[in-house]
Amino acid sequence: MSAPARVLLVGNFLSKTRSIRFVCEDLAEHLSASGREVLTTSSRDSRPVRLADMLATTWARRRSYDVAQVDVYSGSAFFWAEAVCRLLRSLGKPHILTLHGGGLPKFAERSPERVRKLLGGADAVTSPSSFLAEKMSAFRQGIRIIPNPIEISRYPFRERSAARPELVWLRAFHGSYNAPLAPRMLRLLSEKFPAATLTMIGPDKGDGSLELTRKTAEQECVLDRVRFAGGIAKIEIPEALSRADVFINTTNVDNTPVSVVEAMACGLCVVTTSVGGLPHLVTDGENGLLVPPDDPAAMAASVARVLEDPPLAARLSRRGRENAESRDWAKVLPEWDALFESTVSRSGRSGKAA
């Protein structure tokens, strides 16, 4: 039996320099643990240096991998994928693209030819959600859905059959995620639940969102009930989430955020805006509650429902956990294994002697 195909993963491996961990890092760890040879790029913090490292690794280590997997984001990061894939094609290396981010469909509308060329040149394209696969189907047919997974055993489950007014928010402070909505909602919720508290966890992305959120909390007279915890390591997330009973997600743009899946895994009752791929992840009234974007009254009312209706809270908690369990690495990793092997086999271009 031949050895598994050797893989090059191209994405953001930044957990050592930033308080954020991308799915590609977990994928690399699980592939390596299963016995597969894995190369990764890049962990460089500077964006220009990161791109240079991606290209240098792709070229210099070309005899050390049989297939590449490249993460694709919108904005300036899209160029990184274009540059790397252009080099991969010149080397005759089969490659798989993985689509990320709720902003990618809008980017594709603005730059359709670039997107069509990139996706069309790949041997396979994956998406973590049916939402993104559907939105991008005009640019590439046959996009394969492989969910963003978690290690379910790391997330202790507690059923929230009688939810307390202890809320948590977990995301980076960036304009797309509309963090100021959280203290606006908390002020309205406090009219009925004066003991309500909110912990906001996440790194500062430097666009002024953190400062604006603090200012909003002060203006709404809830600053004393909002704790800004900053960014935390991935390993600390389960414990941090477990202290709360309700998870709120305030984003304006999104795909299928891992943070929501992590909250479900711990049994928190999820209340989230109904944007992007979130309605594909959260079934309203079953494993979470959906509200319109940037609507503090609607979000406060939904949180109040959870706090006032124990049977509802218990159902959201249990079924959220079931949803998370379906995304365990034990179920998702075999899909990646099969895709790598089939891609190399179909292409006949492993480039082992390149």
Region of poorest pLDDT, from 17-26, 220-229, 253-262, 316-325:
17-26
Same domain (yes/no): 167, 278: yes
Confidence of residue 1 (pLDDT cuts 50, 70, 90): low
H or E stretch including 31?
helix 23-33
Instruction: Kindly calculate the radius of gyration of the chain based on its CA atoms and give it in whole angstroms.
Output: 21
Confidence of residue 351 (pLDDT cuts 50, 70, 90): very low
In a domain, 266, yes or no: yes
Same domain (yes/no): 304, 165: yes
CA pair distance 159, 268, nearest whole angstrom: 8
pLDDT per position as a tens digit, 58-94: 999 999 999 999 999 998 899 999 999 999 999 999 9
Phi, psi of 301 (to 5 degrees): -65, -40
pLDDT per position as a tens digit, 255-283: 889 999 999 999 999 999 999 999 999 99
Region of poorest pLDDT, from 132-141, 238-247, 313-322, 344-353:
344-353
The stretch 99-120 carries a mean pLDDT of: 95
Same domain (yes/no): 129, 159: no
Q: What is the pLDDT of residue 199?
A: 98
**What average pLDDT is seen over the chain?**
95
Q: What is the pLDDT of residue 101?
A: 86
Q: Is the pLDDT of residue 30 over 70?
A: yes
User: pLDDT: is 144 or 354 the higher one?
Assistant: 144
Tally the domains of the chain: 2
Q: Is the pLDDT of residue 353 over 80?
A: no
Q: Let me know the angle formed at the C-alpha of 289 by 286 and 295, rounded to the nearest 5 degrees.
A: 165
In a domain, 354, yes or no: no
Same domain (yes/no): 313, 339: no
DSSP calls for 329-341: HHHHHHHHHHHHH
Which token pair is 59? 């070229």
Q: Is the pLDDT of residue 352 over 50?
A: no
CA pair distance 140, 102, nearest whole angstrom: 17
Global model pTM greater than 0.85: yes
Same domain (yes/no): 119, 235: no
The stretch 17-27 carries a mean pLDDT of: 84
Q: Is the pLDDT of residue 143 over 70?
A: yes
Give CA separation, 76 vs 51, 82, 186, in Å: 11, 10, 35
In a domain, 1, yes or no: no
CB 116 within 8 A of CB 139: yes
CA pair distance 165, 308, nearest whole angstrom: 10
Same domain (yes/no): 191, 108: no
Same domain (yes/no): 144, 209: no
CB 223 within 8 A of CB 197: no
pLDDT per position as a tens digit, 194-226: 999 999 999 999 999 999 999 999 999 999 999
In a domain, 145, yes or no: yes
Same domain (yes/no): 170, 304: yes
Same domain (yes/no): 160, 212: yes
In a domain, 300, yes or no: yes
Domain, as residue range, for 68 = 7-149+328-347
Beta-strand pair 269-273/95-99 = unpaired
The stretch 80-109 carries a mean pLDDT of: 95
List the end-to-end C-alpha distance of the chain, in Å, as a whole number.
23
Q: Is the pLDDT of residue 22 over 80?
A: yes
In a domain, 189, yes or no: yes
- Which residue type occupies 156? P
Whether the link from the prior residue into 42 is cis, omega within 30° of 0, is yes
Q: What is the pLDDT of residue 289?
A: 98
Same domain (yes/no): 111, 190: no
Query: Residue 132's domain is classified under what CATH number?
Result: 3.40.50.2000
Same domain (yes/no): 173, 295: yes
Same domain (yes/no): 277, 316: yes
CA pair distance 108, 165, nearest whole angstrom: 41
In a domain, 353, yes or no: no
User: pLDDT: is 67 or 14 the higher one?
Assistant: 67
In a domain, 206, yes or no: yes
Q: Is 98 helix (H, G, I), strand (E, B) or coil?
A: strand
